[in-house]
C-alpha cells in the first residue's frame, strides 16, 4: 500500500485501543486476538495486501470521526454493530458511555446518536440506532449495565420495561447537605436501586457505611433497594425483585411480546457470560426459563406456534402467529 494514503484503525481492534471497559470476558473472550483492521475514506478501489484487513468508506462526513490514526468510538460503534447481537450491542454502548473518574467519558450517547444519524448508508446504522434508543450515560460497572438492561429494556427485548430508570443520579440531602449517587434511579417515586457487589459491599465497614447511607436517604423520603448478583442469577429471586420494584414504581409487568422468551434468555446468557457460545435459533425456550409474569402463559402459546413454524420452514424468521 502506498504511504501517502491515510488509513485508520477501525472495528474491534479500535475498541481495544480506546480501552472500552469489560469488553473482554463479557462479549469477547479474554484471550481473543483481533487482527488489525483499517478503513480508508475513498470511493476508489485500493490494493489490499494479505497481511492487513482494509475497508473503504465513501460516506460523506465519515472522515471527521477519527483521532490520530484511529477511528473514534461513535464511528467504531457503527462499524461493529452488525457483528454483535442487539443485547451485546446495547451492553457495548453502555460500556462505551460509562463513567470515567477524573476525566470526561470516552463517549456520550448524544455523540453516538449524532454520528449514526449523520452517516446515512453505513452498514450498521439501523441496528446501531435501535441500540442507542436504550442507552444512557454514566454506568459505573458492567453489573450496573446488566442490571439496567434487565430492568430498563422493553418486554420485546427481554426486560421489565421500567423506562424511567437512569444511571447515577446525583442526590443532595436537604437536612445535612450530603451528596449521594444512586446506581439506578427512578425519579417519579424517588427510588434508589443499588447494586451491591460482594467485592465492595461485604466487609463490616462497607455494610455499616451502606446502612448509614440508607438511613440518611430514607429520612428524606427516598426508597432504597439493594440488589445482589444472586437476585439476577436466580430466576425466582429475580421474579420476586421485579414484582417488588413493580409495586414501588407503580408500573405493572404484563408480557405482551412473543419475543420476550428468547430475549430474556439471551439477557441471562449475557449475565452468565454464556453469550460467547453460539446459541441455535432452533432451540426452544421453556416456560421454566423465564419469570412467570402476568401474560406469560398466553404469550407462550403464541411463541410455541411461531417456533413450530420455524422448524417446518428453517429459512423463515420467528414471525408472530396467532395462538391456536
Assess contact for 7 and 39: CB atoms under 8 A: yes
C-alpha–C-alpha distance, residues 107 and 267, integer Å = 24
Residue ranges in 97-184 assigned as alpha helix (H): 109-118, 125-132, 142-152
Full DSSP string of 98-109:
---TTS--S--H
Residue 148: closest CA among 209, 98, 190: 98
Torsion sign, CA atoms 64, 69, 73, 76 = positive
Helix (H) and strand (E) counts for the chain? Answer: 12, 9
Q: What is the pLDDT along the chain (324 residues), one digit of tens a residue?
A: 444 678 999 999 999 999 999 998 889 988 888 989 999 998 877 776 667 788 999 999 999 999 999 999 999 999 999 999 999 999 999 999 999 877 778 899 999 999 999 999 999 999 999 999 999 999 999 999 999 999 999 999 999 999 999 999 999 998 888 999 999 999 999 999 999 887 766 678 788 888 999 999 999 999 999 999 999 999 999 999 999 999 999 999 999 999 999 999 999 999 998 766 656 667 899 999 999 999 999 999 999 998 888 888 766 655 444 333
CATH class of 143-249: alpha beta
**Half-sphere exposure for 247 (CA within 13 Å, toward CB):** 6
Angle at 259 between CA 233 and CA 161, to 5 degrees: 65
Give ranges for CATH 3.40.960 in the chain: 143-249
Assess contact for 158 and 134: CB atoms under 8 A: no
C-alpha–C-alpha distance, residues 139 and 146, integer Å = 10
The sheet that has 223-227: what strands, in order across it? 166-172, 179-186, 191-195, 223-227
Largest CA distance in the chain: 68
- What backbone phi and psi angles, to 5 degrees, belong to 42? -160, 155
C-alpha–C-alpha distance, residues 117 and 128, integer Å = 10
Residue 254: closest CA among 154, 166, 169: 154
C-alpha–C-alpha distance, residues 221 and 191, integer Å = 9
Which burial class, exposed, middle or buried, applies to 255 when counting CB atoms under 10 A from its CB (0-12, 13-18, 19+)?
buried
What was the pLDDT predicted at 105?
Answer: 84
3-class DSSP state of 224: strand
* Cα distances (Å, whole numbers) of residue 116 to 18, 20, 147, 210: 19, 19, 26, 40
pTM: 0.91
* 279 contacts: CB under 8 Å, gap ≥ 6: 266, 269
Amino acid at each position: 500500500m502506498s504511504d501517502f494514503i491515510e488509513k485508520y484503525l477501525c472495528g474491534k481492534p479500535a475498541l481495544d485501543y480506546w480501552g472500552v471497559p469489560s469488553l473482554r470476558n463479557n462479549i469477547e473472550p479474554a484471550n481473543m486476538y483481533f487482527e488489525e483492521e483499517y478503513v480508508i475514506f475513498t470511493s476508489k478501489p485500493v490494493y489490499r495486501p494479505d497481511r492487513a484487513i482494509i475497508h473503504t468508506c465513501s460516506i460523506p462526513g465519515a472522515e471527521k470521526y477519527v483521532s490520530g490514526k484511529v477511528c473514534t468510538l461513535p464511528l467504531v460503534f457503527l462499524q461493529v454493530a452488525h457483528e454483535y447481537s442487539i443485547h451485546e450491542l446495547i451492553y457495548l454502548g453502555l460500556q462505551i458511555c460509562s463513567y470515567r473518574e477524573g476525566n470526561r467519558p470516552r463517549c456520550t450517547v448524544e455523540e453516538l446518536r449524532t454520528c449514526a444519524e449523520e452517516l446515512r448508508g453505513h452498514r450498521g446504522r439501523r441496528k446501531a440506532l435501535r441500540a442507542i434508543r436504550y442507552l444512557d450515560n454514566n454506568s459505573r460497572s458492567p453489573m450496573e449495565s446488566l442490571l439496567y438492561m434487565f430492568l430498563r429494556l422493553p418486554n420485546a427485548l427481554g426486560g421489565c420495561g421500567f423506562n424511567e430508570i437512569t444511571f447515577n443520579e446525583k442526590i443532595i440531602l436537604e437536612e445535612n447537605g450530603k451528596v449521594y449517587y444512586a446506581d439506578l434511579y427512578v425519579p417519579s417515586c424517588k427510588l434508589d436501586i443499588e447494586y451491591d457487589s460482594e467485592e465492595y459491599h461485604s466487609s463490616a465497614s462497607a455494610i455499616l457505611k451502606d446502612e448509614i447511607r440508607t438511613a440518611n436517604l430514607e429520612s428524606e423520603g427516598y426508597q432504597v433497594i439493594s440488589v445482589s448478583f444472586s437476585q439476577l442469577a436466580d430466576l425466582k429471586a429475580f421474579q420476586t425483585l421485579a414484582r417488588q420494584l413493580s409495586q414501588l414504581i407503580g408500573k405493572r409487568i404484563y408480557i405482551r411480546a412473543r419475543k420476550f422468551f428468547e430475549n430474556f434468555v439471551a439477557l441471562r446468557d449475557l449475565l452468565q457470560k454464556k453469550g460467547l457460545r453460539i446459541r441455535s435459533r432452533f432451540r426452544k425456550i421453556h416456560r421454566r426459563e423465564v419469570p412467570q409474569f402476568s401474560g406469560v402463559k398466553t404469550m407462550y402459546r403464541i411463541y410455541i406456534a411461531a417456533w413450530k413454524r420455524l422448524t417446518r420452514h428453517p429459512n423463515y424468521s420467528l414471525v408472530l402467529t396467532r395462538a391456536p
